Amino acid sequence: MAYEQVHPVADSYHMLLSSLYSLLIKLNRAYAKEYALPFGAPKNNYAYKFKQLLEKHIADNLTVNDYAEMTGVSRICLNKNVKEQFGTTVSDMIRSRMVEEIKSRLLFSGLSVKEVAFSLHFSEPNHMMRFFKSQTGQTVCEFVSGYQNGSIP
């Protein structure tokens, strides 16, 4: 392999690519084993479609029913598929992703707490702050100051 990197020939690219692909497969297997995730190929793409939609619409304050409708399945079917694929419920994934979005916007957008709350369709900033505290165990101010002081990675 090292020889291919130092002395490439016409098909070296393919050899390097296959080696990288093999490494990624091994890492994926180890990750799935470590976190007790299902390793088999997904039987359908509903869970992955939901995850894509979640990334695209996180700021739209959509419900489980909204995501189920967008994926074209019932909420029960969507929840079952997400649970099988990712080991968590649709609601938990939405909440978790929302917390990450709040953190990101608080730290990197330059927006105030009020502006972050309204940009994520919370009716009031204190609703977002209560949600954040219930999910993380800390207030928005504690999180931001902890990040600024280096105590939160």
Q: Are 125 and 114 within 8 A, CB to CB?
A: yes
User: In order of start, what are the domains of the chain with their CATH numbers?
Assistant: 2-34 (no CATH), 46-149 (1.10.10.60)
Q: How far is CA 116 from the centre of its chain?
A: 19
Predicted pLDDT at 17: 84
Q: Is a pLDDT exceeding 80 seen at residue 44?
A: no
Q: What is the phi/psi pair of residue 89, to 5°?
A: -90, 165
Give residue-wise pLDDT tens across range 18-38. 888 899 889 988 988 888 876
Dump pLDDT digits (tens) for 103-132: 999 999 999 999 999 999 999 999 999 999
- B/e letters for 78-114, b = 16+ CB within 10 Å, e = fewer, are bbbbbeebbeeebeebbeeebbebbbebbeeeeeebe
Query: For the chain, what is the mean pLDDT?
Result: 89
pTM of the model: 0.72
